[in-house]
A and B are shown apart, each in its own frame.
Chain A
Amino acid sequence: MKKIVYILIFALSATLFTPLKAQTLTLSDKEQAEFKERINTMLETFLNDLSSIGSKDNSIEFKKAVIKSTLRNFINNGDPYRDSSGYLKKEPHMQTSVLRNGKEYKNKLPIKTYLNNLMYIRYEKVTITMSETLYLSNLYKVGDHYEANATYFQYFRGEHGDGRLYQDKTKKTIRIIVQIEEVYGKKVFVVRFGDIDVVQTVA
Chain B
Amino acid sequence: MKAIKLLLTIIVIAGLSIKSHSQTFHAIVFADTDDPKIGASVKRDMEKIQNEIGMIVSSTRMWLNGYYHSGREANKEQLLTVLQNLRCEPEDVVFFYYSGHGGRAVDDRSKYPQIRFKASDSEAYPMSKVDEVIAAKRPKFRIVMGDLCNSISDYLSVKSETGSGKSVVENDVYENLFKNVKGSVLVASSKSNETSIAFPDGGAFTTCFLNELGRIVSGNQQADWKVLLEKTQKATVKAANHTPVFEVNVNSGSSQSASSSTPVTGQQTNNSFLNALINMADNGGDRNQRVRSVQPVLHEYFDSPHSIVEIFGRDGKTRLVRENAQEFLERVSTSYKLINFVELDVKKTNGGKITYVKLHEIYRK
State the A residues within 8 Å of B (CB).
Answer: 34, 37-38, 41, 44-45, 48-49, 52, 58-59, 61-62, 65-66, 68-69, 72, 183-184, 186, 188
Contact call B336/A49, Cβ cutoff below 8 A: yes
Interface size on B, residues (CB 8 A): 19
- CA separation between A41 and B331, bound complex, in Å? 14
Residue ID in chain B nearest A183 by CB atoms: B319
- CA separation between A69 and B330, bound complex, in Å? 6
Contact with A along B312-355 (1 / 0, CB 8 A): 00000111100000010011011110000000000000000000
Among A62, A72, A188, the most chain B Cβ lie within 10 Å of the Cβ of: A62
State the B residues within 8 Å of A (CB).
Answer: 164-166, 287-288, 290-292, 317-320, 327, 330-331, 333-336
Besides the known contacts A52-B334, A184-B319, A186-B317, 6 further A-B residue pairs in the complex with CB atoms under 8 A apart: A45-B336, A62-B291, A65-B334, A66-B334, A69-B330, A69-B334
| The one of B288, B318, B319, B333 that contacts A59, using a Cβ cutoff of 8 Å | B288
Residue ID in chain B nearest A38 by CB atoms: B165
- Chain A residues with Cβ below 8 Å from B291 are 61-62, 65
Q: With A72-B331, A186-B318 known to touch, is A48 a contact of B336 (CB < 8 Å)?
A: yes
- Chain A residues with Cβ below 8 Å from B330 are 65, 68-69
Contact call A34/B287, Cβ cutoff below 8 A: no
- Chain B residues with Cβ below 8 Å from A68 are 330
Can you spell out 13 A-B residue pairs with CB atoms less than 8 angstroms apart?
A34-B164, A41-B165, A44-B336, A45-B335, A45-B336, A48-B336, A49-B336, A59-B288, A65-B333, A66-B334, A69-B333, A184-B319, A188-B319
Residue ID in chain A nearest B317 by CB atoms: A184
Residue ID in chain A nearest B329 by CB atoms: A69
Residue ID in chain A nearest B289 by CB atoms: A62
- CA separation between A62 and B282, bound complex, in Å? 13
- Chain B residues with Cβ below 8 Å from A52 are 334, 336
- CA separation between A44 and B338, bound complex, in Å? 13
- CA separation between A85 and B319, bound complex, in Å? 29
Among B165, B320, B334, B336, the most chain A Cβ lie within 10 Å of the Cβ of: B334
A-B residue pairs, 10 tightest by C-beta: A65-B291, A48-B336, A62-B287, A66-B334, A69-B334, A183-B319, A69-B331, A65-B334, A188-B319, A69-B330
- Smallest CB separation, A59 vs chain B (Å): 5
- Chain A residues with Cβ below 8 Å from B335 are 45
- CA separation between A49 and B335, bound complex, in Å? 8
- Chain A residues with Cβ below 8 Å from B319 are 183-184, 186, 188
- Smallest CB separation, A119 vs chain B (Å): 14
- CA separation between A105 and B165, bound complex, in Å? 39
- Smallest CB separation, A57 vs chain B (Å): 9
- Smallest CB separation, A180 vs chain B (Å): 12
- Smallest CB separation, A144 vs chain B (Å): 19
Contact call A58/B166, Cβ cutoff below 8 A: no
- CA separation between A48 and B336, bound complex, in Å? 7
- Chain B residues with Cβ below 8 Å from A69 are 330-331, 333-334
- Smallest CB separation, A61 vs chain B (Å): 6
- Chain B residues with Cβ below 8 Å from A58 are 287
- Chain B residues with Cβ below 8 Å from A184 are 317, 319
- CA separation between A45 and B317, bound complex, in Å? 23
- Chain A residues with Cβ below 8 Å from B320 are 38, 188
- Smallest CB separation, B237 vs chain A (Å): 26
Residue ID in chain B nearest A189 by CB atoms: B320
Among B165, B166, B336, the most chain A Cβ lie within 10 Å of the Cβ of: B336
Contact call B166/A49, Cβ cutoff below 8 A: no
Contact call A49/B334, Cβ cutoff below 8 A: yes
| The one of B164, B165, B288 that contacts A61, using a Cβ cutoff of 8 Å | B288
- CA separation between A21 and B310, bound complex, in Å? 36
Contact call B336/A59, Cβ cutoff below 8 A: no
- CA separation between A68 and B329, bound complex, in Å? 12
- Smallest CB separation, B239 vs chain A (Å): 20
- Smallest CB separation, A82 vs chain B (Å): 22
- CA separation between A184 and B201, bound complex, in Å? 13
| The one of B165, B288, B292 that contacts A34, using a Cβ cutoff of 8 Å | B165
- Smallest CB separation, B78 vs chain A (Å): 29
- Chain A residues with Cβ below 8 Å from B331 are 69, 72
Residue ID in chain B nearest A185 by CB atoms: B317
- Smallest CB separation, B262 vs chain A (Å): 21
